[in-house]
């Protein structure tokens, strides 16, 4: 089943996770999920990305906005009254079956409150509702995040050079995966592309990062 990601759709998802509020704050605070489209939300997620990630250091707002409005699915967790974005994720569609997690981030002051877990659960629900079959993401080798993603049934696909990953637009990896799908004329997954062939590893060189994959 394919879904259009709208505010009403996200509102229905959030109803299933009402308990998230008690992890975020000891006070009765209102939160909601929204699509990253409005300038206020775009500006906040843009600034969070630039402050947290090396690869976003030279990111310009115009191209960031264009991407979120036209080619990516961005979802933010927001405080109702202050309109503060406390976490968000961006999901990119490679083709009908394959998706790539470009980013999932939580503001530093809201970490260790299970918000990342909440966002990951929402992301996977959207991925399933969009009819996705294979989902990729990348992490630095020594980030300590591998166990977190493995708890969601992600497994290691291959390694990459983290410097190349940080210093080049993430679209490089997306384009590569897309070209590989066209070349092989098959659904890119662990069943039909063996990681030992080093498809992605050879492109990046050193084993400084990890590509993880989730298969439906």
Task: Please tell me whether residues 123 and 157 are part of one structural domain.
Answer: no
| Domain tally, the chain | 2
Query: Strand ranges (DSSP E) for 111-206?
Result: 134-140, 155-160
Tell me which residue of 78, 71, 61 sits closest to 7, measured CA to CA.
78
Tell me the helices (H) and strands (E) count for the chain, helix number first: 9, 7
> How far apart, in whole angstroms, are the C-alpha atoms of residue 211 and residue 164?
13
Last residue of a domain, one of 84, 114, 132: 132
Task: Please tell me whether residues 126 and 141 are part of one structural domain.
Answer: no
How would you class 213 by CB atoms within 10 Å of its CB: exposed for 0-12, middle for 13-18, buried for 19 or more?
Answer: buried
Task: Please tell me whether residues 156 and 123 are part of one structural domain.
Answer: no
pLDDT confidence of residue 84? 95
pLDDT confidence of residue 171? 54
Task: Please tell me whether residues 118 and 177 are part of one structural domain.
Answer: no
Task: Please tell me whether residues 154 and 121 are part of one structural domain.
Answer: no
Task: Please tell me whether residues 127 and 156 are part of one structural domain.
Answer: no
Find tokens 């961005």 and name the residue.
Answer: 74
> How far apart, in whole angstroms, are the C-alpha atoms of residue 91 and residue 98?
11
CATH code assigned at 63: 3.40.630.30
Task: Please tell me whether residues 145 and 127 are part of one structural domain.
Answer: no
Last residue of a domain, one of 107, 132, 157: 132
Other beta carbons within 10 angstroms of residue 163's beta carbon come to 14
> How far apart, in whole angstroms, are the C-alpha atoms of residue 63 and residue 41?
15
Task: Please tell me whether residues 40 and 106 are part of one structural domain.
Answer: yes
Find tokens 């790539």 and name the residue.
Answer: 100
Task: Please tell me whether residues 58 and 140 are part of one structural domain.
Answer: no
Q: Which residues of the chain have pLDDT under 70?
A: 1-3, 17-29, 55, 160-208
> How far apart, in whole angstroms, are the C-alpha atoms of residue 189 and residue 155?
12
SS3 of residue 64 by DSSP: helix
pLDDT tens digits, one per residue of 84-136:
999 999 998 888 888 889 889 999 888 888 889 999 999 999 999 999 998 98
Last residue of a domain, one of 98, 132, 166: 132
Domain of 58, in residue numbers: 1-132
Task: Please tell me whether residues 117 and 172 are part of one structural domain.
Answer: no
pLDDT confidence of residue 191? 38
* C-alpha distances out from residue 95 to 13, 68, 103, 130, 178, Å: 24, 17, 18, 11, 7
Task: Please tell me whether residues 160 and 116 are part of one structural domain.
Answer: no
Task: Please tell me whether residues 106 and 172 are part of one structural domain.
Answer: no
pLDDT confidence of residue 104? 93
pLDDT confidence of residue 211? 81
């Amino acid at each position: 089943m394919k879904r259009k990601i709208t505010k009403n759709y996200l509102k229905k998802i959030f109803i299933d996770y009402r308990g998230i509020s008690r992890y975020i704050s000891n006070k009765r605070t209102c939160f909601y999920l929204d699509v990253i489209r409005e300038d206020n939300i775009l500006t906040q997620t843009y600034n969070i990305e630039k402050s947290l990630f090396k690869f976003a250091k030279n990111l310009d707002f115009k191209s960031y906005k264009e991407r979120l409005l036209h080619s990516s699915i961005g979802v933010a967790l927001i405080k109702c009254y202050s309109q503060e974005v406390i976490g968000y994720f961006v999901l990119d569609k490679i083709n009908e079956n394959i998706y790539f997690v470009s980013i999932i981030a939580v503001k530093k002051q809201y970490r260790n409150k299970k918000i990342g877990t909440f966002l990951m659960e929402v992301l996977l629900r959207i991925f399933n509702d969009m009819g996705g079959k294979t989902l990729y993401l990348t992490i630095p080798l020594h980030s300590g995040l591998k166990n977190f993603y493995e708890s969601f049934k992600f497994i290691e696909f291959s390694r990459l050079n983290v410097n190349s990953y940080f210093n080049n637009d993430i679209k490089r990896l997306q384009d590569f995966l897309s070209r590989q799908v066209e070349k092989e004329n098959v659904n890119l997954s662990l069943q039909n592309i063996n990681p030992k062939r080093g498809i992605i590893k050879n492109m990046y060189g050193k084993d400084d990062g990890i590509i993880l994959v989730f298969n439906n």
